[in-house]
Amino acid sequence: MKEATIYDIARHLGISAATVSRALNGHPGINAQTAEKVNKAALALGYQSNKFASSLRKQKSNTLGVIVPRLNSYVMSSILSGMERVANESGYNLIISQSLELERKEIENARTMFNSRVDALLISLAFDTETFDHITPFIKKKIPVVFFDRVLDHPSCTSVVIDNFKDGYEGTKHLIEQGCKKILHVTGSLQRNVYKDRLRGFEAAMREYHLDFSDENVIFTSFDNDAPQNVMEKISEMTTPPDGIFFTNDACAAGTCILLKKAGYSIPGDIAIVGFNNDPISKVVEPNLTTIHYPGIEMGEIAVQTIISHLEGNLNVNQGSTVVLRSELVVRDSSRRI
């Protein structure tokens, strides 16, 4: 397959190759509108900047690109730990970047990975990613892509996930079995499979046990530092406070637990709490958090093993398969009433 050049981009846009070159290199003399058009055309045509000598173009870089939403997440750091171990043992290096939960940043990172000629891409999607055009150049170039945790169903990509529906169901069922009847679900953007599927599991359990389910049962948050306070404000607005809360994030659960106790609530007597991920904070906050154990290290190991098996010709990840890892409910004192 012939590689796209700056001359192809120039012909496509009807501008000079010199203008294209300056735009791709961020020259201050190029206006923002032209630079954006050039970068979009480069992405669409599958252009890769010539960062290596042409004699090296067809050789493997032995480098895997990894894009995560945030590096300061316990789950992501666990996943990266697993990835790093397997990659190093197999003679591969990782280039790691974070999208900071922004689609714009994710697109930039993907372009950088593509231009760096990584052998493969592993990606967990940002909160607000809506377009997947930045993945298309990899697929066109037959560069394998594996999604993990927050994934996209794509016929040419493999995904590594947990059963988020099952975990949402089991966490909710546990609260119901502890006597909770008015249960809140605190979750993130439903654009992402993890939160959408956990909410589906929550709803399924509530309906199975004939408990009220409506929009009032669900609180959406970005899980930033202000999230616990935002949850408390929602609770204070309710005529009757909840007797159970299922958080899809341990840090938010722990922070809210502390605020609830300061407000005079007994945990789990007044409000039983379940978190998600089995972060270290779940064992530090009092009472210790009931949570869902997330196999982060294993996810990272499996994702990289899958990619390397493909690169070595032992597996085809371009068939849209899904690997589902085992996660489980860990019961502790924050929910244990019975």
Whole-number pLDDT of residue 161 = 97
Between strands 244-247 and 322-325, the pairing is unpaired
What are the 10-residue block averages of pLDDT along the chain, 338 residues in total?
79 88 82 90 81 46 94 95 93 95 95 93 94 92 94 90 98 98 95 95 97 93 93 94 97 97 96 97 97 97 93 80 95 94
The one-character DSSP state at 47 is -
Superfamily of domain 164-294: Response regulator (3.40.50.2300)
Report yes or no: 186 and 219 within 8 Å, Cβ to Cβ.
yes
DSSP of 266-312, one letter per residue? -TTTT-EEE-SB--GGGGTSSSPPBEEE--HHHHHHHHHHHHHHHHT
Q: CB under 8 Å to 149, separation ≥6 — which residues?
A: 75, 76, 79, 124, 160, 161, 194, 299
What are the beta bridge partners of residue 159?
A: 147, 322
Residue 88 makes CB contacts below 8 A (sequence gap 6+) with: none
Give the C-alpha separation, 207 to 213, whole Å: 7
Residue 59 confidence (pLDDT): 62
The predicted structure's pLDDT at residue 131: 86
**Contact indicator for 178, 272 with CB cutoff of 8 Å:** yes
> Which residue from 285, 297, 293, 235 is spatially nearest to 265, judged by alpha carbons?
235
Name the pairing type of β-strands 328-330 and 218-220. unpaired
Give the separation between CA 30 and CA 36, rounded to whole angstroms: 10
Angstrom distance (rounded) from CA 23 to CA 35? 5
Annotated domain spans of the chain: 1-47, 164-294
CATH 1.10.260.40 is right for the domain spanning 1-47: yes
Q: Following DSSP, what letter does each residue of 206-241 receive, concatenated?
A: HHHTT---SGGGEEE---STTHHHHHHHHHHT-SS-
This prediction's pTM: 0.81
